A and B are shown apart, each in its own frame.
Chain A
Amino acid sequence: MTWIWANLDLIWDRTLDHVVLSVPAIVLSFIIALPIGWLAHRYRASRGVILTVVGLLYAIPSLPLFIILPIIVGTSTRSPLNLVIALTLYGVALMVRVVADGLASVDLDVRQSASAVGFSTWTEFWQVELPLSGPVLLAGLRVVAVSTVSLATVGAVIGVQSLGSLFTDGFQRGIQAEIIAGIVATVVLALVFDALLVYAGRLLMPWTRSRAATTVTDNAAGSVSTAATPASENRSREIAR
């Protein structure tokens, strides 16, 4: 324990490094997953292919990906960009399916009504489908945020400083308190991100506050869309009326 008190500034620095690595990855995976998820949702033919490919991305073990990536992308071996790109890939792998499911959860009646009153595909997507699939997307993004924060620790193995550096250092020096501090700080950071996302969700989607409070928490526990789909369908019906 004495190690922790003597090294609070180190833990804080590593936490900041960790934030700098994971936030761009989380934001980028959301932005990149939107069009891909839309493609998967829109055309039946592309759905199977896209979802299978992104599913496979997730099966790539992280360690070799971190090493191979600079060779493929051409970045410097110890550039933090490698890690951001790798984390984004994993985030996209998770998020594309969520986007596809979220868009699919929008009630057909609502979509047809939107077309009927003259929305183009483009405006329908931004003004109808995207807001209505918001709760599902949020649930997925929360999972992405938590797993990205957790995965970023592996960067320590390739020389990118993060909270994971506390593991490797503690492991070498046999300081268990340091490893525990690294684990706890990682979990706390993930939970902070999660809480921020929930808060952002309430700001952006006030209509979900009453109903979705419980549903959205479920989703962090696992079945992102399955739990959210029926509820968001209910909600979309409500709005449509």
Chain B
Amino acid sequence: MFTANRGRLALIGAVAVGAVVALAGCASGDPLGSGSSSSAESSTLVVGSQDYYSNEIIAEIYAQALEADGFTVDRQFRIGQREVYLPDITSGKIDVFPEYTGDLLQVLDDTATSGTPDAVYSALTKALPSGLQALDRADASDQNTWTVTKAFADKYNLTDIASLKNVTEPITVGGNSELETRPYGPTALSDKYGIVTAGFKPVEDGGGPLTVKALEDGDIQLANIYTASPAFDSGNLVALEDPDGLFFPSNVVPIVSAKVDDKAAAVLNKVNAALTADTLVALNAQSVNDQLAADKIATEWLKKENLI
């Protein structure tokens, strides 16, 4: 009886050993390729992107433009939120990353103040750690707003943020949980404009469809939605004007490592110059409304603009 088991045990052992070997292979081979920016292939540029569909489209545009000019590109897309990927950018594991001027500046320097797009851009170039460089900023931007529904805006005659004073019902704010403590958050509304909000409801989708739905359902009255969101296309949402510069302008800007030479930089600057505010909204709409994949959207646009 037990002798029969001996063979089986050998089999079990073989399977276990095989699994361990396979595992070791995985561990050193880094299955998802995140560490594959090995120094051996110095000609390869690593392009990264946030875990955000719009950012992925821009990264894909950069990648395809570089490839069309003969560069080899390693795509490391959708690698999470800023706190996850920022260390890898600063340590040079990623060579090209589409960022947003104001958003990145606030992370790098929490005493930074808002201003014109150019002022924020130049502040960012100074705040970047050594070894990193910001190429030309695009006209396209994707910045925070205080947004209400059209019906709500009409009811209280709302145009800019200060006009929220007209509202007589309680205002519940919705957005990512960090919004609650950000310098432009509910506290700024009360300190700067005397607008007291009734509460904060977290919706962790970065101003996505669920936030829009919450606005429409009346679960929240005021939300933070990014300017390039295709949700504004419907005409049912109004982004309140921000004459006092509560929000930082956040233009699209490629953050690059020293490995990006003048030739590559020229390619990226050329692409970025064509990236207007309306373009970004249109690209996002293709992703959300037509449900196209990022690489297809990027190819189509680059061809249309004669960039590849």
Contacts and interface: CB of A to CB of B under 8 A. Distances in A.
CB–CB under 8 A between A and B in the complex?
A: yes
Interface of A: 2-3, 6-7, 10, 17, 20-21, 23-24, 27-28, 31, 76-81, 84, 126-128, 130-131, 156-161, 165, 168-169, 171-175, 177, 200, 203-205, 239
Contacts of B274: none
15 contacts: A24-B19, A24-B23, A24-B27, A78-B88, A80-B31, A80-B34, A84-B26, A127-B5, A127-B6, A156-B51, A157-B80, A159-B85, A161-B78, A172-B205, A174-B209
Given A77-B87, A171-B208, A128 B2 contact: yes
Contacts of A3: 291
B84 A159 contact: yes
B1 interface: yes
B253 to A, nearest CB: 21
Interface centre among B1, B12, B206 (most CB of A within 10 A): B12
Interface of B: 1-2, 5-6, 8-9, 11-12, 15-16, 19-20, 22-23, 26-27, 30-32, 34-35, 51-53, 78-81, 83-85, 87-88, 205-206, 208-210, 287-288, 291, 293
Given A20-B31, A172-B206, A174-B208, A165 B78 contact: yes
A6 B291 contact: yes
B11 A204 contact: yes
Given A168-B51, A174-B288, A27 B206 contact: no
Nearest to B81: A159
A131 B84 contact: no
Contact of B85 (A28, A78, A84, A171): A78
A10 B20 contact: no
Nearest to A16: B31
Nearest to A200: B15
A239 B205 contact: no
A153 to B, nearest CB: 14
Contacts of A31: 16, 19-20
Contact of A6 (B31, B52, B293): B293
In terms of DSSP, what is the predominant structure of the interface of chain A?
helix
Contact of B88 (A77, A169, A174): A77
Contacts of B27: 24, 81, 84
Contacts of B78: 159, 161, 165, 169
A41 B161 CA distance: 66
Given A84-B26, A172-B209, A174-B288, 10 more contacts: A2-B291, A10-B293, A24-B23, A79-B35, A126-B9, A131-B5, A159-B81, A159-B84, A172-B205, A203-B11
A3 B205 CA distance: 20
A236 to B, nearest CB: 11
A159 B6 CA distance: 44
A234 B231 CA distance: 64
B291 A204 contact: no
Contacts of A17: 31-32
B293 A131 contact: no
A80 B12 CA distance: 27
A112 B87 CA distance: 58
A10 B79 CA distance: 16
Contacts of A168: 51
Most buried by B among A2, A78, A159, A177: A159
A78 B80 contact: yes
